[in-house]
Structure 1
C-alpha cells in the first residue's frame, strides 16, 4: 500500500507548475488542427528552443484562475482536477468550432448562447465529434484517477489550514477575491495600449493577430486570445455627449440633408451599387526609389482620368484589409477609435447591438457579399449577417463562389473569376430591382512568390543601391498581378456597360502590399506607402456622365474610405441621409484622414499618443488644431456620432439619422 504523508508547500508549487503547464498544452490542442500534439507542446517548448517568452503570458493568466479555484475549494487535488476538467471541456468546444468554422471561441459567442441560440451549437459538431468526446471523457477519467490517488496519499487537511475556522475562511476568501479582482483588472485593461497589463504581455512577446482568431490563439495562447477581446476600449466619451446634444446633431444634419436633397434627382438605392475592394491594388510607379520597365495599370489610369477618382489614404500597409472595408461600409473612421481598437471586425462588431452600414439602404435580401477565401477571415461570416447581407459567397459552404480559377502557381482565386461570379449573380437578379454588392478580391494577396511564368516585368532601384533579390522578385510578382487586375477590371466594366440596368462601382485598393521593404525604411515615405487608388464609375444605363461627375466632384484627389458613401451619392446626384450629408460636409473640409499607426506587414499597431493624419486635396498635412471653426465643429460632431453609434446610448437610432427621407 502506498504510504500517506502531508505534502509540503514546495511539493504543491511543483505540482502547480506542472498542472498549469499541462493545461496550457491542452488548450493549445483545441486550436491546432494540424500536428496537434507537436504544435501544442511546441508552444510551451519555444521558450527553450527559440527564447520566445510569449507562453509566459498564457501561463500567467491561467495560473490566476488555477489559484482562485484552489482558494475557493481549499483542496489542492480537487481544484486541480476541476481545473483540468474545465480545460478539457473548453478545448473540445474550441476543437469543434475550429473544425466547423476555422475560428476560436470568442466573447461574442457568450452573447450568442445567452441569447437563446444554444441549440444552434450543434452546427459546431464535426463528423468525428463522438470520437473526440469519447477521448475527452477517457482523459478526464484517467486524470481523475491520478488526482484521487495523489489526493489520498496527501494527509494535508487543506491548502490553507489553521485551527481557527474563521481565520481560515476569511483568509481564503480574501485571497480568492483579491485574485479575482486582479484577474478582472488584468483582462479588462489588457486590450488598452499603454495599460499596465498590455505593457506586461507586450514585454513577454505578445503580438496580436486580430485578422484571424485562430492564428492569434496559436501564436499568443488560447486564453490570451480570448481575453484580449473581452473589453476592448472603443472610444473616449466626448465631454458634451448627451441625448440633447445628439438631438441637436441630428437636427443640424437633417437640415443639411434636406437642403442638399432638394437639388438632387436620384435615390441611391434605385441603382445597383458594387463596392470592389481590390486586394493590395496600388500603383507601384508611385513608390519612392523604384522604377518599373512598364506601366502596369494603363487601363485603370484611363478610367481614373475619365471619372471621379484619386488617391485613397489607407490606414494599412501590407495588412488590415477589414479595417478599410469597415470604414467604407460604415462611414466610421479609425481616427476616432481608441488606439486599442485595432480591428473593429474582431473587437467591436461581434458584440455590437446596432451596426448601421451603407448597404442597409437596400433591402436585406438584395445585399450580397463575395470574397473568394475563407468566410471566417476577420469574422466576416458573423459580421456580414449583422450588416444585413443575405448571402455571402466564399470558398466554403453554404454559398460557394464559382468559378475558382487561379493564375500561374498562385494559391488565390483570380480577379477574373471573382468578377465572373459577380456578373453571373447580376444576370440572375430580378429585373427592376437594385442590389448592393460587397466584393473583396484575393488575387494580389501576400505572399508574392514568383507565381506568374514568363513575367516580363522588371523593377530597378533609382537610389543607386540595388534592391535585394527577394524584394525585387516580390515587387515584380505583385506588379504582374496588378497588371492582370488592370485588364480584368476593364473587362468587368465593359460587361457592366452592356447590362440594361443602372450600376455604379466604387473600386479601391485597400492598402499597398508589404513588399517595399527598402522604401519602408525611410520614414519620409510613410504617406506614399499609404496611398492606394480608387475610382467611382457608372455604366451607360445609369444615365450618369462620368466625366462631368468627376470634374464637379468635391475634393476627389484625396479621400479615405469613410467618405465613399458621400462621394458615391455626389457622383450619382443622389439624395442622402443626415449622416451621409454630414460626411459630405466633412470631406469638403478634410478630404482624407488616417489614424496613427506603426507599419507592420500583416499587422498594425496603433500609437497611443500618436497624431492622426489629415491631408488636404493636394495631399498636404492639415493641422486641425489651427482649423477654422466649422472644421473643428465637424470633427467634434464626428466623434459624437461615432461614439453614439459604437459605444454610447445610440440616441441616433430613433432619429432617422441613417435613413434617406423620401
Structure 2
C-alpha cells in the first residue's frame, strides 16, 4: 500500500511538472528564444502562464480519465502538444502568426500539408513518436498495475472537467463571462490589432482557445436600415456621375480574368537581398507599358485565400474582426448568396491546379456562383486538361495553368469571368531546379539564400510563360481584360525584421492588361496612372472596371471611391494599429492623418461591409444593381 501511495504521489507531481514544462515549451515554440520565453513566462506574464498550466493540467487529467492508463495518457499528452508546438513554430516562422482555430480545416488535407514540410523534419517527428509509443508500451506492461486506475464516476468527471474547461473559452471574449473575468484578472493582453502579439504575450494555447468564438465584424456607428438606404442612394448618384464617362454598360459582353500568381513578388525589392541578375524582365516590361503597380497584401508567407476573398468581393480583410482569420472557411460557407464579381457574369469558371478542398474552395466557389471549378480532385468533363509540372517542381506549372485558362476562354464565344489561382511557386522552396542561373546574397534571407535562389528560378519561369500567355490572349478576337497579381511574399526572408520593413514585405506586384481586341474596340485601356501605384486586392474590381471602361453599380461606385481616394489598406502584422494604410509613395499613413473625406468614405465602406456580412443585409438586394 505504501508503495502505491508513493507511486500516486509521483504521478501527481509528474503531471504538474509536465504541465509547467509544456507551458514553457509552447511559449518557446512561439517566441523561439530561451531568454525571451523565460522573461515572458516567469517575469512579465507569470499569472497568464499559470492559467496555461491549469488548462494543460485539466487536459492531462482528462486524457487520464479517458484512457484510465497513466503511460498512455502521458504519451498522448506529449505527442499532441509536441506536434501542436511544432506546428505553431512553423506557422510563426513562415507566416508570422500562431495556430488558430480556423487552421483546423487543414486537418482534412494532412497529406497535402506534409508535402510542404521538409522530409527530414517529418522523419524526425515520426521517429520520436515511434520511440515514445514503444516506451509507453514497455512501461505500461511493466508498471501499469502499480499506478492509479479510476472508477467509472471519477473518469466521467475528469473528462467532463476537460470538456467544460476547454468549452468555457468559447465565451472568453464576451464581457461579463467567467473566463473573461479570470483572464483579465490574470493579465491576459488582447492586442486587437495583432494576433501574433497576443500569442507572444499570452502564449499560443490561450490565444488559440480565446479565438474559438468568431465575431465577423464590429457594428459600425449609426448602422440602421435608414442609414443603408441613404448610402445606396448616395452611391447610386455617384455611379450616375461615373457612368457619364463610361461607354460600356454590359459587363457580360467582356471577358474578365483574375489571375492570382502564387507568392509572386520581385525579390529585388526586398530589403537586404541582392540577385545576381534580373529575375522578371518580361513582367517588368509589361508593368511599364500597362496599368500596374504594387499591391498591399494582408499576409506574409501564406493566407492566399484571404487575398483571393478580397479580390473577388471587394471587401477589406482589415475591417473584419481579428477573430475572423479565414473569410472563406469562417464566413462564406455560412452565407447564402455572397456578393462578388462573378454575380455580374452569365458564364463563370474557377481554376486551381491543386486540391479543391483547400480553404473549402469547392464549397466557396459554389456559394460565389462559379459554374465550374477545375482542380486536381475533379475528373471527367471537369478534369484538368494540363497537369505538367515545372522543370522538376512538385506543383503543376504556371504554363499548364495558363493553357487551362486559354482552353476555358475558347469554350465561350461571348464574355465570361475566370478566376485562376496558380500553384507553381508555392512553398517549400527546396526544389533545386536544373540549370538554375540565379544566386542571392545579403542578410535579408538569413540562412535561406538557397531558397531565395530556387524561388527566383520559379519566378523566372512564370515571367516567361506569362508573356507567352499574353501573346496568345492578343490573338483572340474578343475583349479580354486580365487582373494579374501576386498574393504575398514567401516566408523565407528571415533576416529582415518585420517591424522595420513592414510595408516592403507586404507589397507584391500587379498589372491590369487589356488585349489587342479590347483596345481596338474601346473595351479596354492601355495604361491608367491615377491611383494605381499602390493599391490593395479589394481595389481590383473597380480598377478592372475602369480599365474596361465599364459602367458601375452603386456598390462598385463605392469601391471606386475607396480605390481612388483612400490609401491602400491591409491588416497590420506589426504595431498597434489594426489597419495598415499606405499611400502612393509607399509610406505608411496613420489613421489620424486621414482627411475628412477619406474617413467618411471608410465609414461608408465599413457600413456596407458590415451590412453584407454580419448585419441585416438591408442593402444586399439593391446596392449592386
User: Residues of 1 paired with 2:417 and 2:25: CA distance?
Assistant: 50
Q: Secondary structure at the match of 2:264?
A: coil
8 Å contact kept, 2:271–2:444: no
Q: Which moved more, 1:295-304 or 1:346-355?
A: 346-355
Asked if 1:396 corresponds to 2:373, the answer is no
Larger Rg: 1
Aligned to 1:325: 308
Aligned to 1:376: 357
Aligned residues: 514
Q: Secondary structure at the match of 1:597?
A: coil
User: Residues of 2 paired with 1:349 and 1:58: CA distance?
Assistant: 36
8 Å contact kept, 1:191–1:340: no
* Structure 1 residue 611, shift from structure 2 partner: 4.1
Asked if 1:541 corresponds to 2:517, the answer is yes
CA displacement, residues 383-437 of structure 1 (integer Å, 9 cap, x when unaligned): 111111121111113433232111233211110011111112222x2323x1111
| Aligned equivalent of 2:393, options 410, 421, 424 | 410
* Change in CA separation of 1:647 and 1:466 when aligned onto 2, cut-off 3 Å: closer
| Aligned equivalent of 2:613, options 637, 646, 649 | 646
Aligned to 1:657: 623
Aligned to 2:599: 632
* Change in CA separation of 1:182 and 1:250 when aligned onto 2, cut-off 3 Å: farther
* Change in CA separation of 1:159 and 1:371 when aligned onto 2, cut-off 3 Å: closer
* Change in CA separation of 1:159 and 1:492 when aligned onto 2, cut-off 3 Å: closer
Aligned to 1:252: 234
CA displacement, residues 107-153 of structure 1 (integer Å, 9 cap, x when unaligned): xxxxxxxxxxxxxxxxxxxxxxxxxxxxxxxxxxxxxxxxxxx99x9
Q: Secondary structure at the match of 1:275?
A: strand
8 Å contact kept, 1:186–1:197: no
Q: Secondary structure at the match of 2:257?
A: strand
Aligned to 2:423: 442
Asked if 1:271 corresponds to 2:254, the answer is yes
* Structure 1 residue 467, shift from structure 2 partner: 6.4
Q: Which moved more, 1:575-584 or 1:401-410?
A: 401-410
CA displacement, residues 319-355 of structure 1 (integer Å, 9 cap, x when unaligned): 1111110110110111211222222122222223441
User: Residues of 2 paired with 1:441 and 1:373: CA distance?
Assistant: 8
User: Residues of 2 paired with 1:565 and 1:552: CA distance?
Assistant: 14
8 Å contact kept, 2:513–2:526: no
Aligned to 1:300: 283
CA displacement, residues 62-106 of structure 1 (integer Å, 9 cap, x when unaligned): 969999xxxxxxxx99x99xxx9xxxxxxxxxxxx99996489xx
* Change in CA separation of 1:628 and 1:410 when aligned onto 2, cut-off 3 Å: same
* Change in CA separation of 1:424 and 1:476 when aligned onto 2, cut-off 3 Å: same
* Change in CA separation of 1:533 and 1:290 when aligned onto 2, cut-off 3 Å: same
Asked if 1:616 corresponds to 2:583, the answer is yes
| Aligned equivalent of 1:513, options 485, 490, 494 | 490
Q: Supply the RMSD in Å over aligned alpha carbons.
A: 4.7
Alignment of 1:566-605 (within 5 A): 566-598=542-574
User: Residues of 2 paired with 1:562 and 1:240: CA distance?
Assistant: 24
Q: Structure 1 runs of 4+ off > 3 angstroms?
A: 44-54, 56-67, 97-104, 175-185, 188-192, 194-203, 227-230, 465-468, 543-553
Q: Secondary structure at the match of 1:372?
A: coil
Aligned to 2:468: 491
Q: Which moved more, 1:391-400 or 1:546-555?
A: 546-555
* Change in CA separation of 1:490 and 1:66 when aligned onto 2, cut-off 3 Å: same
Aligned to 2:42: none
Gaps of 5+ in 2: 30-50, 74-103, 112-147, 197-203
Q: Secondary structure at the match of 1:652?
A: coil
User: Residues of 2 paired with 1:538 and 1:402: CA distance?
Assistant: 26
CA displacement, residues 241-288 of structure 1 (integer Å, 9 cap, x when unaligned): 111111111111111112212321113332111100001111111112
* Structure 1 residue 554, shift from structure 2 partner: 2.7
| Aligned equivalent of 1:243, options 225, 241, 248 | 225
Gaps of 5+ in 1: 1-7, 19-43, 68-75, 85-96, 105-149, 161-171, 210-219, 599-606
Q: TM-score, normalised by structure 2?
A: 0.71
Q: Which moved more, 1:324-333 or 1:234-243?
A: 234-243
CA displacement, residues 564-589 of structure 1 (integer Å, 9 cap, x when unaligned): 01000111110111111111112221
* Structure 1 residue 643, shift from structure 2 partner: 0.8
Alignment of 1:84-95 (within 5 A): none
User: Residues of 1 paired with 2:367 and 2:227: CA distance?
Assistant: 27
* Change in CA separation of 1:272 and 1:63 when aligned onto 2, cut-off 3 Å: same
User: Residues of 2 paired with 1:511 and 1:546: CA distance?
Assistant: 33
* Change in CA separation of 1:50 and 1:293 when aligned onto 2, cut-off 3 Å: same
Alignment of 1:47-66 (within 5 A): 51-52=25-26, 60=55
* Change in CA separation of 1:200 and 1:293 when aligned onto 2, cut-off 3 Å: same
* Structure 1 residue 501, shift from structure 2 partner: 1.7
Q: Secondary structure at the match of 2:525?
A: helix
Aligned to 1:234: 216
User: Residues of 1 paired with 2:266 and 2:513: CA distance?
Assistant: 19
Asked if 1:337 corresponds to 2:320, the answer is yes
* Change in CA separation of 1:596 and 1:552 when aligned onto 2, cut-off 3 Å: closer
8 Å contact kept, 1:307–1:547: no
* Change in CA separation of 1:455 and 1:201 when aligned onto 2, cut-off 3 Å: farther
* Change in CA separation of 1:545 and 1:299 when aligned onto 2, cut-off 3 Å: farther
8 Å contact kept, 1:537–1:546: no
8 Å contact kept, 1:324–1:510: yes
* Structure 1 residue 189, shift from structure 2 partner: 3.6
8 Å contact kept, 2:23–2:53: no
Aligned to 1:501: 478
Q: Secondary structure at the match of 1:437?
A: strand
User: Residues of 2 paired with 1:423 and 1:58: CA distance?
Assistant: 56
8 Å contact kept, 1:306–1:547: no
* Structure 1 residue 184, shift from structure 2 partner: 5.4
Q: Secondary structure at the match of 1:335?
A: helix
User: Residues of 1 paired with 2:311 and 2:416: CA distance?
Assistant: 17
User: Residues of 1 paired with 2:252 and 2:210: CA distance?
Assistant: 39
CA displacement, residues 359-405 of structure 1 (integer Å, 9 cap, x when unaligned): 11113xx2111111111111111111111112111111343323211
8 Å contact kept, 2:55–2:165: no
Aligned to 1:284: 267
